[in-house]
Structure 1
Amino acid sequence: MTATYGEIDPPQRLLMGPGPVNAHPRVLRAMSADLLGQFDPEMTAYMNEVMALYRPVFGTQNRWTFLVDGTARAGIEAALVSMVAPGDTVLVANFGRFGLLLTEILGRIGARIETVDAPWGEVVPLGAIADAIARTGPKLVATVHGDTSTTMAQPLDGLGRLCADAGALSYVDATATIGGMEIAADRWGVDIVTGGLQKCLGGPSGSAPITISDRAAAHIQRRKHVEQGIRRDDIDDGEGVRIGSNYFDLAMIMDYWSEKRLNHHTEATTMLYGARECARLMLEEGLEARYLRHRRAGAAMTAGLRALGLPVFGDDRYRMPNVTAASIPDGIDGETVRRRMREDFEIEIGTAFGRLAGKMWRFGAMGYNARKHKVLLTLGALEAVLRAEGYSCLVGEAVPAALAAWEAAP
């Protein structure tokens, strides 16, 4: 007998982990709008609006600012597979799990990978990156802006100039920070930046905003596909290689987003509506107001966790405002606390990866959830659960500490 399934009716859970987070209601409403054909003039007008809306989000004037259909990782892979040929030397500035992800993707492409590393909880000094560039002579330098595995944010001022002076391209994965920290693609001088909706932008996973400099676009176009997009012959494009992906070929996607509107894939209309509304909300709020709200939320979360006696992980100077990691106390089962937070309070908090697994919880306060009351609810619930699990802490200290930190955040 065929099983009968009911209508989807998920719990109204408060997602206060490292992502995804709850989508803004306006984003969800935008995504319920009627579909359009991909070449309908109304649809292509929306595509042009998305390009314009995301330029200030990325801090750029780049012509090539658009969406890659897929999760944030689709944007990462599209950038790397379109810029890097087998055998190219790529330098990765690595300070967490998502730096390691870049090396994994590059390994599949066949790149020659070099790394310059920082211990988890720290960032890579710009001088160390400069030394590594001089030592390795890379064609591309790649890094993550904010790595949610360690909660650290890599300083990027000066990176693009270092790379350009060495004749290298530059790539930044800003999945965890776009919408919550300043993204300054033009000031940084970096060539490609990619992001995702599901964290500080306050949307669902499934669309990857990207911006590409003219310099990077020219490099990508030199590896160009056959225009019809039907047959991929080996083409002598000056590099003697072709791009190893059809779906993630940025040259083909750029043709689709250009005035030529050359068919590449069927645009994910509903996700485009959602991405458009994410950017509209951000610009409506104002960039500086948006970043201040995230700084306040992060400061409040950090202060509240410390008031509970939980050591906060990593270097305070470089912590992202939107994700905070705190140590699991001795004698407390981290997964039991996460389960009770979810079952008793409908609040989700995150676990940790790799060498931090079983040692840390990760608390997110970003996008639609970077709000005072949501941070306070999370801290109050955490205190109740910890006390129920036998942890000794000062009663009623976390929420006042968080309130004071919210007001004092610069």
Structure 2
Amino acid sequence: MQYTDLSTPTRTIMTPGPVEVDPRVLRAMSNPIVGQFDPSFTTIMNEVMDMLRILFQTKNQWAFPVDGTSRSGIEAVLCSVIEPGDTVLVPIFGRFGYLLTEICERYGANVHTIECEWGTVFEQTTINQKIDEIKPKIVAIVHGETSTGCMQPLDQIGKTCRDRDALLIVDAVASIGGVEMKVDEWMIDALIGGTQKCISVPSGLAPITYNDRVEAVIQARKKVERGISTEEDHQLDETRKHPYIKSNYFDISMLQDYWGPRRLNHHTEATSMLYALREGLRIILEEGLDQRFLRHLYHEKALITGLEAMGLSLFGDAQSKLPTVTCVEIPEGIDPESVRSMLLEQFGIEIAKSFGPLEGKIWRIGTMGYSCRKENILFLLGALEAVLLQHGAPIHIGKATVAALEYYTEQAAATVLSV
């Protein structure tokens, strides 16, 4: 059998991840490979850590990527701090709260959950009251829930965790780089992101940050479990390090030895992916965090304006909406997968279905990173209208793209007048 040259189709990707990769990132990935301890590469590692601190809005010493998809970062943080029997609170408002629960249970945690209706989020007082009730060691929570398009406020939870000596660990995979994330101000102890969403880098790295409270837990586990001094620890053979953490690959104490000044060998770094992350972060910082967050809100509003002008309804509480994901209710009698297939086959546009109780009830449209552009919004609205008309949906013909275009025109005029 002969295999031809790889030639993937050009797509307009409007899903909650992966998204379109910035062309600058693709170019950066084509740089030559160098060794992971080459001074040129360790300089890149240092630059990535510096830029991640800015993105995370933190002064934490530790901010680096875990090699693997977003889930690798989540598992690395949780497996490194959870000991069997630890009490963990997981507030669930969508699919990925269940993922946090499963990972915590796999590492022996005693997991307590609270749940609210999909399409809503928790009052922060509800979570704080539960913290007071069960006194967890860890509160693990999703920030932006892509399955429901909702975003959980966090600014009042961190202080409660700090006052109760609990660790606040946040899954910000769908929100980092697209919305405000104030790690230090909100007293978040550890945060996990992903490259394939708002950062607009291929899937394969999970940027994380954690503070000295998390590091203290890891160091204390070393001393208690092994009963040895720090000097003795440094002399141990690498193959015998940290036997109490079930995962070698995701052991944060070993990863920070690799990313720290000692540069102890742990794994072979994903060289080209680190090039990609460096460029993706550089693009974000060139745009400016505030401007980037405003851009996501700007195009989200245009999309919503067009969808509602078409006569479609949005799913979920508008006050809790995640700016980077818009959930659209599927019109009655319309085959959701037939619509998605036609969008992909006829227009090269991909949108996402949903999970669990929402499967077959909503479509999910991502406006993340490089995919979050005016031309993508207008193209999607025109194509979706055409496909829905082909399926006999009762929509307002000719309204969606015009409404979005009017919004863009009005906003441009307002910007000119305000200058």
Tell me the TM-score range normalised by the shorter chain: over 0.9
Superposed displacement of residue 327, structure 1: 0.9
Correspondent of 1:353 among 352, 355, 373: 355
Q: Which residue of 2 is the match for residue 237 of structure 1? A: none
Q: Which residue of 2 is the match for residue 373 of structure 1? A: 375
1:162-177 counterparts in 2 under 5 A? 162-177=160-175
Superposed displacement of residue 233, structure 1: 6.4
Counterpart CA distance in 1 for 2:147 and 2:368 is 15
Q: Which residue of 1 is the match for residue 307 of structure 2? A: 305
Q: Which residue of 2 is the match for residue 38 of structure 1? A: 36
Q: Which residue of 1 is the match for residue 229 of structure 2? A: none
Counterpart CA distance in 1 for 2:407 and 2:218 is 46
Q: Which residue of 2 is the match for residue 231 of structure 1? A: 240
Correspondent of 2:279 among 277, 280, 299: 277
TM-score relative to the length of structure 1? 0.95
Please list the CA deviations of residues 174-206 of structure 1 after superposition, one character each: whole Å capped at 9, or x if unmatched: 000011001110011010001001111111100
Residue range with higher mean Cα deviation, 190-199 or 387-396? 387-396
Superposed displacement of residue 119, structure 1: 0.9
Q: Which residue of 2 is the match for residue 91 of structure 1? A: 89
TM-score relative to the length of structure 2? 0.93
Q: Which residue of 1 is the match for residue 292 of structure 2? A: 290
Q: Which residue of 2 is the match for residue 342 of structure 1? A: 344
Counterpart CA distance in 2 for 1:285 and 1:149 is 28
1:178-327 counterparts in 2 under 5 A? 178-224=176-222, 227=234, 228-232=237-241, 242-327=244-329
Q: CA RMSD in A?
A: 1.5
| Equivalent AA in structure 2 for residue 341 of structure 1 | L
Please list the CA deviations of residues 118-165 of structure 1 after superposition, one character each: whole Å capped at 9, or x if unmatched: 210111111111111111110000101100000000001022111010
Counterpart CA distance in 1 for 2:298 and 2:381 is 15
Q: Identity of counterpart residues, as a percentage?
A: 52
Superposed displacement of residue 293, structure 1: 0.7
Secondary structure, counterpart of 1:247 in structure 2: coil
Superposed displacement of residue 221, structure 1: 2.3
Q: Which residue of 1 is the match for residue 63 of structure 2? A: 65
Q: Which residue of 1 is the match for residue 106 of structure 2? A: 108
Counterpart CA distance in 2 for 1:189 and 1:403 is 40
Please list the CA deviations of residues 204-254 of structure 1 after superposition, one character each: whole Å capped at 9, or x if unmatched: 1001111111111121222349543212465xxxxxxx2111000000000
Superposed displacement of residue 400, structure 1: 2.3
With over 3 angstroms needed to count, the CA separation of the structure-2 counterparts of 1:160 and 1:231, relative to structure 1, is same
Superposed displacement of residue 65, structure 1: 0.6
Superposed displacement of residue 404, structure 1: 4.0
> Which is richer in helix?
2
Counterpart CA distance in 1 for 2:407 and 2:356 is 31
Q: Which structure 2 segments of 5+ residues have no match?
A: 227-232
> Between Structure 1 and Structure 2, how many residues are aligned?
401
Superposed displacement of residue 296, structure 1: 1.0
Correspondent of 1:383 among 362, 382, 385: 385
Q: Which residue of 1 is the match for residue 402 of structure 2? A: 400
Counterpart CA distance in 1 for 2:310 and 2:152 is 28
The answer as to 2:152 corresponding to 1:143 is no
Counterpart CA distance in 2 for 1:363 and 1:282 is 22
Residue range with higher mean Cα deviation, 296-305 or 376-385? 296-305
Counterpart CA distance in 2 for 1:214 and 1:79 is 13
Superposed displacement of residue 116, structure 1: 2.1
Q: Which structure 1 segments of 5+ residues have no match?
A: 235-241
Superposed displacement of residue 394, structure 1: 1.6
Contact 2:312 2:395 in 1 (8 A): no
Please list the CA deviations of residues 278-308 of structure 1 after superposition, one character each: whole Å capped at 9, or x if unmatched: 1100000011110011001111112211112
Counterpart CA distance in 2 for 1:46 and 1:358 is 44
Counterpart CA distance in 2 for 1:127 and 1:113 is 20
